[in-house]
Amino acid sequence: FGLEPMQEFVSDIVNQRAFRTNAYDGLQATRIAAAVHASAESGSVIHL
């Protein structure tokens, strides 16, 4: 993550273009990050 994705996001809004990702993509990324964190804390495999 860096400046480029944020610039792309603003450009998409200004130019009224569809976003590359959607809420579902964000939800899945959040689920994966939470599972990684839980696995690191517990030392066990987290199944999604």
Q: What is the mean pLDDT of the chain?
A: 94
**Cα–Cα dist 48/29, whole Å:** 12
Model-level pTM?
Answer: 0.65
Q: How many residues does the chain have?
A: 48
pLDDT tens digits, one per residue of 20-42: 888 999 999 999 999 999 999 99
Q: Which pLDDT band, with edges at 50, 70 and 90, does 19 fall under? A: confident
**Cα–Cα dist 40/22, whole Å:** 28
